[in-house]
Amino acid sequence: MTHRNRRPRGTLTGRLVGALQDWSVPRQLRGAPGHAKAAESAMSRGLRPRLEQADRVGTSICPYCAVGCAQLIYARDGKPIAVEGDPRSPVNQGTLCPKGAATFGLMVSPGRLDRCLHRAPGATAWREVPLDWAMERIAQLAKRSRDESFVSRLPDGTRVNHTLAMASMGGATLDNEENYLIKKLFSAGLGMVFVENQARV
């Protein structure tokens, strides 16, 4: 410890000595006790858990496979800053697999889409369109396809109430409440029979 007093402040040698002294490996090789202390450095002493910056924590469930790992989403200023396994869950007890641990990366992925895109028939590129325009156009197209194809009864009088010209795929990644509205609207409302999700694939 005496060499610290001899250290000429500010010189190149001094900074080098300081850095070497701060380097944790020689300390660990000398068998310094305690994992935390032995690994400490000037930088790590200043580190704080990212989670401390959160102004909100909410409960969530992993969006990948069907094991159903519980997660905690930490957010600051309305943006996610970390996603961790929920230690209370009897399913995952705080753990997450490589996919589940990537949930934060998924939420903030540069690949996330944030605008509606439209590709006109024969076009070679997308164009951005307003959400409201897309919704109205889709409603009109759905009505047109349904009206052009709807069959109330077969020639022998058998009731069918359906359209074979519209189809839907997806659901296994969605919420129960979403699946319920999809089935209710598409099947009970519009008479679509080609309603399928990934349960078979």
Partner 1 sequence: MPSLGATFGRGAATLPQWDLANSDCVLVMGSNMAENHPIAFRFVMQAKQRGATVIHADPRFTRTSAMADIYAPLRAGSDIAFLGGIINHLLQNDLWFREFALPYTNLSTIVGEDYRGPGELGGYFSGWNAEGRRYSPESWQYDGVVVPSSLAEGYVEIEGFAEATRRLHEGPTPKDPTLQHPSCVYQILKRHFARYTPEMVEQVTGCPREVFLKVADAMARNSGRERTGAICYAVGWNHHTKGAQIIRTGAILQALLGNVGRPGAGLLALRGHTSIQGSTDIATLYDLLPGYLPQPHAFRPHHTLEDYLKVETSPTGWWNNFPKYYVSLLRAFYGAQATPENGRGHDLLPRIVGDHSQLPLTVAMANGVIKGLFVMGQNPVVGGSNSKLVQRGLAQLDWLVVRDIAETDTATFWRDGHLVRDGEMRPEDIGTEVFLMPGSLSGEKAGSFTNTHRLLQWHDKVVAGPGDSRSELWFTYHLGRRLQELYRASTREEDAPIRSLLWDYPVDEEGEPDAEAVLREINGYTWPEREQLASFNDLKSDGSTACGCWIYGGVFPQPGRNLARARKPDGPEGPGTHLGWGFAWPDNRRTLNNRASADPEGRPWSERKRLVWWDETKGEWQSPDQIDFVKTKRPDYEPDWSKRPAGMDALSGTQPFIMIPDGVAGIFVPSGLKDGPLPEHYEPTETPVRNAFHPGVEGNPPAKRWAHDLNPIAAPGDPRYPHVLTTYRLTEHHSGGTPTRIVPTTAELQPEGFCEIPTELARELGLRSTDWVVLSTPRGEIETRALVTDRLRPFRLGERRVFQLGLPWHYGWAGMATGDVANVLTAVVGDPNTGMHENKALTCALRPGRLARRGGQG
| 155 contacts partner 1 (rule: CB under 8 A) | no
Of 5-34, binders to partner 1 (CB under 8 A) are none
| 148 contacts partner 1 (rule: CB under 8 A) | yes
Whole-angstrom Cα distance, residue 128 to residue 121? Answer: 15
| 142 contacts partner 1 (rule: CB under 8 A) | yes
Quickly count: other Cβ atoms within 10 Å of residue 74's Cβ.
21
Whole-angstrom Cα distance, residue 5 to residue 186? Answer: 79
Nearer to partner 1, 38 or 61 (CB): 61
Burial 7-21 (b: 16+ CB within 10 A, else e): eeeeeeeeeebeeee
Whole-angstrom Cα distance, residue 99 to residue 71? Answer: 12
| 162 contacts partner 1 (rule: CB under 8 A) | yes
122 sits in the region (left: phi over 0; alpha: psi -120 to 50; else beta) called: left
Min dist. Cβ of residue 153 to partner 1 (A): 9
Name residue, tokens 């310094």: 32
| 137 contacts partner 1 (rule: CB under 8 A) | yes
The interface mask with partner 1, positions 168-187, x = CB under 8 A, is xxxxxxxxxxxxxxxxxxxx
Nearer to partner 1, 15 or 118 (CB): 118
**What's the CA dihedral at 30, 34, 39, 44 to 10 degrees?**
-150
| 84 contacts partner 1 (rule: CB under 8 A) | no
| 193 contacts partner 1 (rule: CB under 8 A) | yes
| 50 contacts partner 1 (rule: CB under 8 A) | no
Q: Which residues pair with 153 in a beta bridge?
A: 159
| 165 contacts partner 1 (rule: CB under 8 A) | yes
Whole-angstrom Cα distance, residue 178 to residue 66? Answer: 17
- Site for partner 1 (CB under 8 A): which residue of 19, 20, 39, 91? 91
Of 94-133, binders to partner 1 (CB under 8 A) are 95-103, 105-107, 109-126, 131
| 39 contacts partner 1 (rule: CB under 8 A) | no
How many chain residues interact with partner 1 (CB under 8 A)? 118
